[in-house]
Each structure stands twice: as structure tokens, then as C-alpha cells.
Amino acid sequence: MHVDVTPRHLPAGAGATSEAVVTLTNTRDVIAGFGVRVLGVDPTWVQVSDPEPRLFPGATASVRVALTLPVDAPAGRWTVSVEVIDLADPAAVSVQEVVLEVPPMRRTRVVLDPPTVTAGRQAVFTAVLHNEGNTEHVGGLAAVDPEARAVFAFDPPEVVVPPRASTSVTLTARARRPWVGDPLLRPFEVRTTGPHAPAPDAPPAATGVFVQRPRFTRGALALVGLLAAVTVFATVIALALGTVVQRSAADRDLALQVAQARDAAATNGTARLAGTVVELTTGATLSDVSVEAVSADDTSAAVATVATASDGTFAVGRLTGGSYLLRVRGAGFAEVWYPAASSPDDAVAIEVEDGAAAEGLVVVVGGVPATLAGTVTGDDVGGATVQVQMPLDTAPLLGTDVARDDPSGAAPAAGDGVVVRTVPVGEDGTFEIADVPSPAVYDLVVAKTGYATHVQRVDVAAGESRSGLELPLLLGDGTISGTVSGGGGPLGGASVVASSATVRVETVSLTTDVVGSFVLRGLPTPGTYTVVVGADGRAPSTLTLTLGEGQQLTGVDVVLGDAEGTLAGAVTVPQGDPGGVEVTVTDGASTWRTAARSGSGTWRLAGVPVPGTYTVTFARADLQSQVLSVSVDGFGRVTSGAASAAGLDVSMRQATGTLSGTVRQQDAAGAPVPAGNVVVQVASGTVTRSVTTASTPAGTVGQYAVEALPPGTYTVTFTRAGTRPVAQIVVVQAGQDATLSPVLVRPAGVRGTVTRAGGTVVGGATVRLFRAVDYGLAGAQAVATTTSDASGAYAFDDVDAPQNYLVEVRVVAGGSVLGVSPPFTLAASEQRTVDVTS
């Protein structure tokens, strides 16, 4: 059988379908069936139009292979193999390699948490970078405010985020704090930086607001901390309670106060304050917390106290008109003054008149920071990490854009949340995570390279200090095994690396026993892995393999081609030495050059990466360039464009052409004879060349040649004294020897008869032809001289024209003048009769 695959270099965008054509010829003398399959990629990505074609002897069929890569396919060059097997003879196998080029798709989303922070001199934000592309994001962040009053710092200044992963950066904004006045709003934009950052006029990656309080004020503060769909972290209220409270006696006392507050009496006024208490981390309303109305002029004691209802609402009635502050307290929660201040000095006063009501007030409270501690169990726990993640499948992120971010549309799962904290695990397996916003539900994720990821969900109460947590570190339960081969058979010592976003496992193929075999163990499942196989002197091969739950994948056979190949051939030229012909080889990204050897014309270029498709150009200034396109497989063999990698031979042609010929002219009898001293002018828009036809020796008279003419259309003009010019059009091609041999018309001539006055002819007289302007001058020379014959006739042939002449007749040379003709003008090629009478 004969198998060919086109194209060998296939662009394959993530999520798009690319197609190759397998051309299969049955070279056997019987009907044969064949099996076509693609190795090196997930079978679910491949569609073969006819996986088992049957062909008659000598018949040819085309099988279309369509590959659809997933949207999260990493960028880079992948090598897959198309295997064709004779179903009647399993030993007859043809494997053709195809290189897939997955272009990088860069898309980074930035979320600020919280988007607004109220503070004094500096505010701290958390920027979460979500890499939604298929290649690494490398770079940092930059921020700018329109007034250029704030200074921004990022920690770390630069990050590297793998595809489909996220990381966080701490953003600190600093600005000069005003002494008095209202709070200042300092909006700012956040943009990504680095080699692939968007253009400056592109929309910002995120926006935030720094609400800056003056040093001395009791003005209104902006409401901060309300839960947004993209909220990743929560800022914990700045007041610590001193010690962590779980179910302490103080909490019980405060709970009793809340219960008593339900029936507590207020003053006898008619004003009213009403609103809702909201929990910071979840945005949920908060019941059974104490709400106190305090006079703005005296904060030492509460004027009235109530407790929030089950829906978090409160109403403080029977107040006299005036200015009030609201204080909210609850077991496990930090004390907060309306709307979200930690002290009465920063609180917002509420003005209310008798008989009026201030409603819709929202107070945001946060739990005292919680602490989580415990132990990671398992073998070699050193180097493991524990992450606190805000899960996507529970409030507050459930149903938000963050939870819907998965392009596949899959429901969010445990361990897929937004990272809040990450801490390393000690050598003894212990860990402690402090300052965790509470109350909230979190996923604790323990991970280490080469181990399975374990997720454990915890419900953290407000201010809780939980210890004794046990998180297991588990080995992965998936394996990938197969064989690595080269051009000469099994290949030992090849490196085999399987990696995903969180795991990297390495091994080498065996050099003894079952040479070339390998096994990758401890792979967490389910999961998708990029497997890269490489060896010294061999081109690496990349596979993408997906493991199901506990899957032991076998039979992964990888064939490594040569890392480099050699291209060679010979150059021949029409004449002369082929040396100096430059040979240029390029694959579009890299270029290699060499030159043909003098004399032999051979050339050789080693170190060309394979597999690849190359354009080979042969050029020299005086020769017409030649171009070949060849495809080389992973073993250095040419699959299209030439017979072999050592047989890239070309025959070059001259880059210019030649025009030659013989110019003839009619003689007195009308017969064409070679004409010497004819000026031949060859002209085009940019080129003008002139030569003169040969006049000696006799065998070359009339011949001319104009060499090294660039290809083009020329006007050729032939000019000779006494003859009308002749012009013709000729097209000269590269390497062509064009010919043009015109016949010019008869040259100008003067003839006539010499007679006496009585009509008697004068034979034997000397007849001379003079230029009219020269006649009579001392030393004037005749243009031509002849003698009249017995009939008195004379003739001057091949006379220069146009010109003014006269004819003089003498009895003998040097004798007396018998007669002179009047002056006359002789035109080119004119035959003029001039009779002279003495």
C-alpha cells in the first residue's frame, strides 16, 4: 500500500475543526481492506470519514480526518500520527506524522475585591487575575487615577498564571490625606502589563474606588463592603474584640441583652429609625443582633435598643426629634456604627424630626476573623499547601458571573472556587490559617505536585477558632503506559513528562528488559494531561490524554523522529560555473543559507529541524531564481516536493536574454546583401543599448549581438547612412536568444548622363560628387568620383543621405571643368537622376 497525508502542517485553533486528507492506494493484486486511525490525541476529538476503506487492486481512495481540539487546548506544536494498517496483514503498517499548530489565545480577566475601600492614608485591595486563555499569562498590573493624586503598589509586581488558572495580587493605594472636608472619591483604573498587554486605548481590566476620609470629620462615608457577584475576598471590620469568641459568657450576656431589647422601651417621642442589618461576607440579612440608637451629642449610653427580626430588619420608634447614631452588636460580630464604621467618630449621624421617619438604613457588619488549624496526613506531606477557597456552588458566589465562568457550561464543583488564602504545610503536617473572614462556608483544598487533590468543606462560624482539622494527602490513582520508539526501533532513556495545571509527573523509558517502555504513575483522576516525550537528537512529541476515574491507560505508543535533518542537491547552469548560486531554506519562522560549490554545483545544508515544510530558493544575480517546496517527515525523509532529501536538484536559466542577427540591404539590383556599419539601437522604458554591425572580416559583415538584456519588450531601430531607418518590436525572455535580421531598403544614389550642348554624349569624362557647402572651397574633396561610360552615363551608389549635393564634370581629372549641376537635396534611399550638360 501507498499512503500520503496532506497537509503535514495543520493549523488547529482551540475549539475549531481542522481537516487532513489521507490518500491511500492499494498496491496489492487483490481487494484489500485497511484501517485508518489517529494516534496521539483523545479519540473523541477525531472523526474519520471512512475508518475501514476497501479498495480494488490499484485503486486509490481519499479518507478525510477531522480533528476538533477542546477550547482549553494549550498553545504550541503537537505531533500526531495517522496509522494505516492492512487488515489482512497486520504487519503492514504505515505511520504518517502530522504537526498541529495551536496558536496562543491570550485572555486575562481581573477582578478587584472589594471594588471600593474606605480608608485614611492608604487602602488595600485584592486583584484576582483569571487566565482564561490557552497560554501562560506573564506580566503585572498597573493602576492610574485621573487626578494623578494616588500612588499604587502591587505585591507581587509580576506573576505567571498558567492557562485556566487564577492568582491574586495585593494592591495598595496611597494618597495624601486631607485634614478637613468631605470624604474624597479617588476612582482608578487597573490595566495588565507585560509583553502581551492590550493597547493603551483598550478598556481597563478593572476599576476601583478609594474613598478617602479626612483626618477630622463626621461627614458621610461611602457604603463599602456590599456583596457583588464578582466579590472574591471580604475586608474584615478593623476593630478586634481582643480575644476570639466562640460561645463565651460574654456572647451569652450579649444574647440576653438582645432578647431583652425586644421589649425595651424608648423615649416618648414620635420619630422613627428603620432599616436592615446585612452580613459582610455573604450579603445575607442578620437576625437577633442588637441595634442601639445613641444621641450624637452623648455616645456614652443608648437612647433606645431593639433586636433585628428574622429577616434582619429593625425599627427604633418613639424617638424625639434630633441627631442619632446607630450601633450594632452581636455575638461573634464586631461592633459597627452606621453605616460600616468601627467607632462613633467615623459614624454617620442621622437627622430625624418629630413625627418623621428615617427608613431604608443599611448597616454592614462582619464577623470577628476566624482561625483554622489542623494536620495534613499522608506520606511526604512537606511541600504541600492548603488553600481556603470560596466555593462557587454556594452563596455568595452561586449564580454569579464568577460561578458561570466555566466555558464548558459544567456546574461548579468542590475545589473550583476562588482562592482566599494559601498556606504551606509544615514538615510535620501541621498548618494554621489566620484572619479568615467569617462567618462563611469554605473549601479547604490540600495539594502537592504528583499527588491527588483533596477537598474538604467547612462551615465557619463568626469569630470561630477551629482546630483539629485532618486533611489527607492522597497519591494519584491513574497511570499512563506505553512505548517510545525511534526510526530504528524501541528507544530507551527517553524522558516522558505528564503535566496538568496542578500536577507534573516524570519518568524515562526503560533501557533494559522491555526497552522503550514507560509507566507514569500517581496521576490524579479524572484529569487531562499534556504528555511530552523527548530524547537527545530526536524531535519531541506532545500528546494530550484524558484519564477517567481511576483509569489505567495503556498502549500509548510514541514514535520520535529525528531532531534535525539534511537537505542537499546539485545546481546546473546554462553555461559557466554554477558556483556562487545562493541556496536559502526557510520554514517561515527560521532561515538557513548555503551556496553551491564552484565547479560541481553541489550543495548541502545540515541541522534543519524535522519534521517540517520548507521553501528552498536558488538565486544568483545573472540567473533566474528557482523555488522548490518540500515536506520532510520526522525521519528526514521527503514526503512531497522531491524524490529525496539529497536530491533537491535544479537547472537554472539565465536571468537575461540576448538579441542577435544579420542586417542586410538591397543592392542596385534589388538583391539583399550583408550591410556593415548599421547602428542597432535596442530600447525599452528603462534600458537603451546600441551596437554597430560588423564590417570586417568578410564572413561576419552585417552581424550584431546585444547581450544581457533584462526580460521585456524592446523597440529595435536599424540606422545606416543613406538609408531610411527601420524599427521593429521584439519580446526578449529570460534565458532566450532572440533573433532579428531585417533587410534595409536600397541606399540613396545619384546617376545621370554627360552631354555637350549639341546633344553629343561625352564618354570617359571625370564625374565628381561634392557636398554643396564644400564646393568651391580651397582643398574641398569630392564625396565620390567616377568616369562616364561610352554612352556618357555615370552612377554613384550607396550615397549618404539626406544631404545637399552638386555634380561636377571634367574632361579628365585635373582638367578643365566641362559643367556643373545645380545643387540638389538627396533624401534617404532616394534614386536621383542628375544630367550634366557642358
SS (H, E, C) 306-340: EECCCCCEEEEEEECCEEEEEEEEECCEEEEECCC
On the question of pLDDT at 26 being above 80, the answer is yes
| Region 320-329 average pLDDT | 91
Model confidence at 13: pLDDT above 80: no
Residue 228 has pLDDT above 50, yes or no: no
Distance CA 809, CA 756 (A): 11
CA–CA dist 685, 332 (Å, integer): 95
pLDDT single digits (tens) 280-315: 766 778 888 899 999 988 888 888 999 999 899 999
pLDDT at residue 415, rounded to an integer: 59
**3-state SS assignment for residue 267:** coil
Which of 195-204, 544-553, 778-787, 820-829 is least confident?
195-204
Local structure of residue 237 (DSSP, 8 states): P
Bridge partner residues of 237 (DSSP): none
Whether residue 230 has pLDDT greater than 50: no
In this predicted structure, what is the pLDDT of residue 223? 31
Q: 89 pLDDT band (50/70/90 cuts)? A: confident
The CA distance from 588 to 605, in Å, is: 17
pLDDT band at 746; cut points 50, 70, 90: confident
**Could you tell me the sign of the dihedral formed by the alpha carbons of 669, 670, 673, 678, in that order?**
positive
Residue environment code for 773-792, b if the CB has 16+ CB neighbours within 10 A, otherwise e: eebeeeeeebebebebeeeb
pTM of the entire predicted model: 0.33
- Provide the pLDDT for residue 215: 74
Residues of the chain above pLDDT 70, percent: 90
Checking if the pLDDT of 796 tops 80, the result is yes
Most confident listed range (414-418, 450-454, 488-492): 488-492
Least confidently predicted of 342-351, 470-479, 713-722 = 470-479
Cβ atoms of 728 and 742 within 8 Å: the answer is: yes
**C-alpha cell of 557?**
505508543
Among 426, 424, 435, 439, residue whose Cα is nearest residue 394? 439
Residues in the chain: 838
| Residue 225 scores a pLDDT above 70 | no
pLDDT of residue 222: 31
Q: What is the pLDDT of residues 602-634, one digit of tens each?
A: 999 988 888 789 999 999 888 888 898 999 887
pLDDT for 509: 92
Angstrom distance (rounded) from CA 352 to CA 293: 12
Is residue 143 scored above 60 in pLDDT? yes
**At residue 520, does pLDDT exceed 70?**
yes
- Three cell numbers at 701? 559583415
Task: Tell whether the model's pLDDT for residue 661 goes beyond 90.
Answer: yes
pLDDT band at 399; cut points 50, 70, 90: low
Of residues 299 and 739, the one with the higher pLDDT is 739
**pLDDT-based confidence at 788, cuts 50/70/90?**
very high
At 236 the pLDDT is 31
Structural domains in the chain?
2-102 (2.60.40.10), 108-212 (2.60.40.2310), 249-365 (2.60.40.10), 370-474 (2.60.40.1120), 478-559 (2.60.40.10), 564-651 (2.60.40.10), 657-744 (2.60.40.10), 748-837 (2.60.40.1120)
Alpha-carbon distance of 306 to 518, in angstroms, equals: 72
Task: Report the pLDDT value the prediction gives residue 504, as an integer from 0 to 100.
Answer: 82
- 373 has a pLDDT exceeding 90: yes
Query: Environment class of residue 762 by beta-carbon count within 10 Å: exposed (0-12), middle (13-18) or buried (19+)?
Result: buried
Residues 377 and 813: their CA atoms lie apart, in Å, by 138
Q: Dihedral of CA 704/705/706/710: which sign? A: positive
Q: Residue 301 has which C-alpha cell?
A: 449610653
Task: Give the pairing of strands 831-833 and 748-755.
Answer: parallel
pLDDT of residue 253: 53
Residue (of 205, 5, 192, 10) closest to 103 by Cα position: 10
Q: How much is the pLDDT for 249? A: 42
Angle at the Cα of 633 from the Cα atoms of 629 and 638, rounded to 5 degrees? 45
Pairwise CA distance, residues 29 & 7, whole Å: 29
Residue 207: band (very low, low, confident or very high) from pLDDT cuts 50, 70, 90 = confident
Dihedral, 387, 388, 390, 394 alpha carbons, nearest 10? 100
| The predicted structure's pLDDT at residue 789 | 94
73 vs 139, higher pLDDT: 139
The pLDDT, as a whole number, for residue 264 is: 45
CA distance 494 to 435: 48
Q: Is the peptide bond before 802 cis (omega within 30 degrees of 0)?
A: yes
Extended strands (E) in 512-621: 517-523, 527-534, 541-547, 552-559, 564-572, 582-586, 591-595, 602-609, 612-620
- Residue 829 neighbours by CB under 8 Å, 6+ apart: 722, 723, 724, 745, 746, 747, 748, 801
Residues 6+ apart with CB under 8 A from 584: 591, 592, 593, 616, 617, 619
Higher pLDDT, 722 or 490: 490
Asked if the model's pLDDT at residue 218 lies above 60, the reply is: no
Residue 404 is predicted with a pLDDT of 54
Q: What is the mean pLDDT of residues 157-174?
A: 89
pLDDT of 172 strictly over 90: yes
Asked if the model's pLDDT at residue 401 lies above 70, the reply is no
Block residue for cell numbers 546554462 = 574
Q: What is the mean pLDDT of residues 414-419?
A: 68
Q: What is the pLDDT of residue 267?
A: 54
pLDDT attached to residue 266? 44
Measured distance CA(638)–CA(568) in Å, rounded: 11
Find the mean pLDDT for residues 678-703: 91
Q: Is residue 519's pLDDT more than 80?
A: yes
* Helix (DSSP H) and strand (DSSP E) numbers for the chain: 1, 70
If we measure between CA atoms, which residue out of 95, 97, 94, 98 comes closest to residue 1?
Answer: 94
Mean pLDDT rounded to a whole number for the chain: 83
Supply the pLDDT for residue 406: 53
pLDDT of residue 209: 84
From 405, 370, 518, select the one nearest 72 (Cα to Cα): 405
